[in-house]
């Protein structure tokens, strides 16, 4: 069993923000793999489905980014999951737009959602870091992440989310490196 967690902030006013790319990724996976509808559960929205024949859940915490760990911990305890069966999708300032890095464990890198999850379930969960780029000045970070993607960003964002969703089964098969390679090829300039 796999728990896919998208990080973001709940509410329509945040839906298109860069900080909500984790929600966008989970929504794309659920749509591509015909997961059931999202329902209120574990202080968030939970959907159930299958990836390559394996049972999977998708969770979008409604606790706001900085408290994401509370929702994740409830789901992990209820389903008796080990952290290595949790995959968290989130925005990464320190990667160029469209770049994706996937690994198990590591640090939070200043990301408050990841910091919260680590404090509740430990560090050994999978991280799918989706590059959104950096505004260039630390003082502009909050406004940057809490702002909608630019229209020009759709040129890389939509194909990335489509490919990530189509190949999400690789995560369930333990083939994170293959998924990262496929996404890297997509991000290369033509």
Specify the higher pLDDT residue, 188 or 109.
109
Sign of CA dihedral 7, 113, 68, 105: positive
Average predicted confidence (pLDDT) for the chain: 94
The residue assigned the tokens 């320190």 is: 94
Cite the active site residues.
19
Please state, in angstroms and rounded to a whole number, the distance separating the CA atoms of residues 57 and 47. Answer: 6
At residue 140, φ and ψ (nearest 5 deg) are -95, 0
Question: Are 86 and 3 within 8 A, CB to CB?
Answer: yes
Domains and CATH numbers, the chain: 2-187 (3.40.50.1470)
Grade residue 185 by pLDDT with cuts at 50, 70 and 90.
confident
- Tens of pLDDT, residues 134-144: 999 999 999 99
What is the model's pLDDT at position 110? 87
What is the model's pLDDT at position 189? 56
Please state, in angstroms and rounded to a whole number, the distance separating the CA atoms of residues 179 and 138. Answer: 31
């Amino acid at each position: 069993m796999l728990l896919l967690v998208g990080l973001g902030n709940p509410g329509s006013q945040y839906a298109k923000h860069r900080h909500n790319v984790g929600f966008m990724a989970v929504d794309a996976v659920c749509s591509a793999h015909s997961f059931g509808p999202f329902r209120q559960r574990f202080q968030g929205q939970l959907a159930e489905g299958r990836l390559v024949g394996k049972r999977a859940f998708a969770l979008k915490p409604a606790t706001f980014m900085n408290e994401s760990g509370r929702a994740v911990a409830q789901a992990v305890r209820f389903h008796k999951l080990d952290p290595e069966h949790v995959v968290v999708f989130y925005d990464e300032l320190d990667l160029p737009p469209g770049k994706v890095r996937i690994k198990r464990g590591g640090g939070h890198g200043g990301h408050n959602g990841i910091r919260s999850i680590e404090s509740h379930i430990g560090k050994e969960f999978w991280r799918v870091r989706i590059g959104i780029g950096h505004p260039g000045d630390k003082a502009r970070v909050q406004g940057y992440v809490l702002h909608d993607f630019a229209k020009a960003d759709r040129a890389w964002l939509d194909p990335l989310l489509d490919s990530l969703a189509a190949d999400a089964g690789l995560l369930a098969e333990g083939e994170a490196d293959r998924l990262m390679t496929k996404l890297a090829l997509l991000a290369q300039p033509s």
